[in-house]
A and B are shown apart, each in its own frame.
Chain A
């Protein structure tokens, strides 16, 4: 087990990261442009149309308030789908065997998928950021926090993607988590509204929603304030990321559904 956590094949790890990025580029119309287009639509329909009536939320114009939530929405989707579909396709077409017979440790394989997911997430997050700067004149005030939260959330959902990519028996299974868990949690997690506007009962429920803390932490990096203290949201997000990453590592080291 200790050996499967070792890093000794740097070239192998870089090769895997490169392969994942090549894959992303080959399906760019499927994975990079759609989140950008849908962000544009959200900003126009919700931000500009609705914003005219809502004015400000947490002291910023509504359209600017939307941007961090939209970044999280797309980062979560991008990282989960990158790692889950790549791992699952690799299993489905057996091409993951190329990695499994090579001198690559579980830690190297997981890191490869996670790093590639993080890169994809940062590309998308920054494209949305540029849109936000141009359209609604908002940029992060705390860049370290912005990058930190984006990376930790990307690690969390890339790890979840690996876990589901390993467990799924058909493509359909990958969509179960997105459709029934992730998407609902994201939409009620404060992308479009502050918890302060919610009825008390719903507001308390949203504290049980992990995505709420992710969006709140990222919003901190833009506005300098949020619904919960920054320590709390960062703590929740980091703990979840560590748990997901650990589970993905253990499953890969054990060869769950990989090494029969």
Chain B
């Protein structure tokens, strides 16, 4: 891919101005019911402007319903949504101009070439073709789609379809990008490419709201994380704090020969698994590792290997969403 910028340019954005310091998304007590089924249940959520936000949850938890309520594809049963201070119901034109959506399912116009997909999408946002031709070409180039610009979406490979989803979401230079499973079904190389692209966009000021099933992705990219389970928000905090608070890192020491008595200071959180020749110490901060190892050596332990497992988002996720 070339290094052309995908960040919005002055004067070519369809986005109306938004006051400084306003949240990108402000959802107040959002509920969505389908008959007896409650898809989203009294959800209150704020995403700061400029944030890189991960919205996680098991299948059917209400992630896509929430996104669809934000972009106007779902009518909420109760509650309100503001996008950069614009009410999504009463001031919907302004709210929608600020959002670029990369949906999970492909919904491209099959009658148009992929270049025209971008040009027409910009048109729906009120940008005339003469203003967006160059940007469309730039995005196609940046996403490695330039050679296919005259083809329809059906002729693209899976990875290319994913990239087109993103290019289309960016064509009107939105202030916020909403991505529903942006890396589902893409290979490792493309995933890394998309990650760097999202980081670049975020660094240039675009707010990013994404859902993903790859917790590693959320852990790597997102500054803040919300976890939804059965339509309810069960966690909402910075990624680092979420990991600290819920995930307990553990230190595993492999021992040659018999395991001696454990040092007094460790007794409460250390467990000797004699059959396996292991000592497991739980709730360990990375700064303590050297100290603990030294204490074990002083106690006469013959250490052959050390494994320090940092708490992963997966542990936290399972802890919070396990029924």
- Beyond A18-B120, A98-B124, A102-B124, 13 additional contacts (C-beta under 8 Å) are A9-B124, A9-B126, A10-B126, A11-B128, A12-B126, A19-B109, A94-B103, A94-B107, A98-B120, A98-B121, A101-B72, A255-B75, A259-B74
- In Å, the complex CA distance between A12 and B121 comes to 9
**Chain A: CB-nearest residue to B39:** A260
Query: Are A101 and B111 CB-contacts (below 8 A) given A9-B93, A11-B128, A12-B123?
Result: no
Looking across the interface, which residue of chain B has its beta carbon closest to that of A10? Answer: B126
Q: Which of B72, B111, B120 contacts A100 (CB under 8 A)?
A: B72
Are B73 and A101 interface neighbours, CB within 8 A?
A: yes
Residues 89-129 of B, flagged 1 when their CB comes within 8 A of A and 0 if not, give 01011101101010101111111100010001101111110
Query: Which residue of A3, A14, A98 is within 8 Å of B90 (Cβ)?
Result: A3
User: In the assembled complex, which residues on chain B have CB atoms less than 8 Å from the CB atom of A18?
Assistant: 120, 123
Q: Do A97 and B124 touch (CB < 8 A)?
A: no
Is B71 interfacial (CB-CB < 8 Å)? yes
Residues on B with C-beta less than 8 A from A22 are 111-112, 116
Taking a contact as CB atoms under 8 Å apart, the answer to whether A11 and B127 are in contact is yes
Q: Are B124 and A12 in contact (CB under 8 A)?
A: yes
Residues of B within 8 A of A139 (CB): none
Binding site for A on B (CB under 8 A): 34, 68, 71-75, 90, 92-94, 96-97, 99, 101, 103, 105-112, 116, 120-121, 123-128
Residues of B close to A26: CB separation below 8 A: 111
Interchain CB contact (< 8 A) of B107 among A9, A19, A93: A93
Give the contacts of A95-149 with B (CB-CB under 8 A).
95, 97-105
- B75 x A97 contact (CB < 8 A): no
| Closest residue on chain B to residue A103 by CB atoms | B93
Q: Which residue of B lies closest to A96 (CB)?
A: B107
Closest to A97 in B: B107
**Inter-chain contact A12/B74, CB cutoff 8 Å:** no
Q: What is the bound-complex CA distance between A99 and B96, given in angstroms?
A: 11
Q: Does residue A16 face the partner (Cβ distance < 8 Å to B)? A: yes
Q: In the bound complex, what is the Cα–Cα distance between A18 and B90 (angstroms)?
A: 28
From known contacts A101-B72, A101-B101, infer whether A95 and B124 are also in contact, taking CB-CB under 8 Å: no
The 5 closest A-B pairs by CB, nearest first: A15-B123, A94-B107, A102-B124, A103-B93, A103-B96
User: What B residues does A11 contact at CB under 8 A?
Assistant: 123, 126-128
Cβ-closest chain A residue relative to B105: A94
Residue A23 lies at the interface, judged by CB distance under 8 Å to chain B: yes
18 contacts between A and B (CB under 8 A): A9-B126, A15-B120, A16-B123, A93-B107, A93-B110, A94-B107, A95-B109, A95-B110, A97-B107, A98-B120, A100-B72, A101-B72, A102-B96, A103-B94, A103-B97, A103-B124, A103-B125, A104-B124
Residue of A nearest to B178 (CB): A101
A8 near B: Cβ within 8 Å?
yes
CB of A120, distance to nearest CB on chain B (Å): 14
Bound: A103/B122 CA distance, A:
11
A8 near B73 with CB under 8 A, answer: no
Which A residues lie within 8 Å of B123 (CB)?
Answer: 11-12, 14-16, 18
Contact of A101 with B99 at beta-carbon distance under 8 Å, contacts A12-B123, A260-B73 already known: yes
Contact yes or no, B125 A98, CB < 8 A: no
Given A3-B92, A8-B93, A95-B107, A102–B125 Cβ distance below 8 Å? Answer: yes
